[in-house]
Chain A
Amino acid sequence: MSVEAADRFEELLSRLFDGELTDTEAGALTALLRDHPPLRSELRQHLVIWELWSQQKAPERSADAFVAACHTRLRAERQGDSFLASLRERLPNKEHEEQRGASLWWWLRRPASLAGAISFLTAATAILFWFVVLPHRAVATVTLHGEAVCTACILHETHEHRPAIRVTEGGRTRIYYVKSDRHPFERAGDFCSAPVPLVVTGRAESKDGRLEMEASSVQRDSAPDSPAGPILFPF
């Protein structure tokens, strides 16, 4: 190998270790490695040596830091929801809203809940009415038992903070986007902080698969007495 090739290899090596190797220089380095097989072995040795040296010298790359990072990722992976629940529990001034969310979640999950059954039957009847009995019409007056959620803070769909009604029944969730005045929803509770359980009556409409609601009555739903259960997350 010529002196020029060796010098060029060192120069390109320096660029690589500085993270400044351009695509053109990478091409030049590749050509050198193809033409001079011993340089491949040298490059591999450099990569290994300076990787080990970096682990030894950089505190953030120490064995302890690496093991701790592995544990963090493992915990995050295995505990997913409970990790988030624990984090959310520590957020200030949220206890009240969380309890409401928890109660609602517990309530929604109860298969024998009379209110749930009524809500399901109401929604099912409305859907049957829309799509089977009156297929030419996609408007119906319905009463929904659900929760108000913010389309910006909770659904992350808009920039504007608007209420939507989330109805969960039989393992399915439907979102009704509120077309009418949002103030009745704001009076019912801070739907940007946490879901607010509501009973909403009004005209529901389906437009290209999107459900919209013009509310004529918005009432806070008093959740049945229930023990503290899993926290319902808005995300």
Chain B
Amino acid sequence: MNPDIAGTFDSLVREHQAGLRAYIRALGAQDAWVDDLAQEAFLVAYRRHEHFREGADFGRWLRGIARNLVLNERRKGARRSRLLQESIVDVLWTEEPASPGTETPDGRILAAMADCVTQLPERSRALLERRYSENADSESLGNIFQMSAGAVRQTLVRTRVAVRRCVAGKLGEAWS
């Protein structure tokens, strides 16, 4: 690999990976397949870097590639295991613009989230941390926190709803 291209590719991946993965998830990818699809998008971008117009918005171009990859998944019908159920994906796509929209403000969302999470009760915050850092299911979290699996699920969903509301409130119209 040409060191210049490799270096540029590396910095572009670092810059855009978080927002691209969030974008792909919002298009209906299953959580387990988000990274796979995002990596494919970067590989396609790498292979076709000569088609990228100088001065254009790289993030937008990348999202266009990712969008096409997800679109291809949708066309696979019954075999499209990398996406959520067909009906949900269809609904998610009803409001999807014909071309990729603005970049996910991942930095601002994360800053708002950090702020919102600190406002949670300690147990809710700890549950949220372990749920994602250890990919723990409700049963094992219940054992750790001495709660029933049902209570864990209930706490988690209420925590998620509260955090989303808090983040949306902080970002306001900037994040529709």
Contacts and interface: CB of A to CB of B under 8 A. Distances in A.
Interface of A: 10-11, 13-14, 16-19, 21, 23, 26-27, 29-30, 33-34, 40-59, 61, 63, 66-67, 69-71, 73-75, 77-78
Given A40-B95, A63-B14, A67-B14, A55 B88 contact: no
B92 to A, nearest CB: 7
Given A14-B156, A21-B84, A49-B113, 9 more contacts: A44-B92, A48-B23, A49-B163, A49-B167, A52-B22, A67-B10, A69-B35, A74-B9, A75-B1
Contact of A74 (B1, B35, B153, B161): B1
A44 B26 CA distance: 5
B95 A30 contact: no
B43 interface: yes
B85 A21 contact: yes
Given A41-B176, A67-B17, A48 B38 contact: no
A43 B92 contact: yes
Contact of B88 (A30, A46, A66): A30
B124 interface: no
B35 A66 contact: yes
Q: Which 5 A-B pairs have the closest CB atoms?
A: A26-B85, A57-B132, A30-B87, A14-B157, A51-B25
Interface in B112-160: 113, 128-129, 132-133, 135, 137-138, 153-154, 156-158, 160
A16 B157 CA distance: 11
Contacts of A27: 87
Interface residue tally on B, bucketed by range:
35 or more
Contacts of B175: 45
Main secondary structure of the interface of B (DSSP, over half): helix
Contact of B153 (A18, A33, A59): A18
Contacts of B154: 14
Main secondary structure of the interface of A (DSSP, over half): helix
Given A47-B26, A53-B113, A58-B132, A16 B84 contact: yes
Contacts of B164: 42, 45-46, 49
Nearest to B47: A77
A47 B153 CA distance: 17
A59 to B, nearest CB: 8
B69 interface: no
A144 to B, nearest CB: 41
Contacts of B135: 58
A69 to B, nearest CB: 6
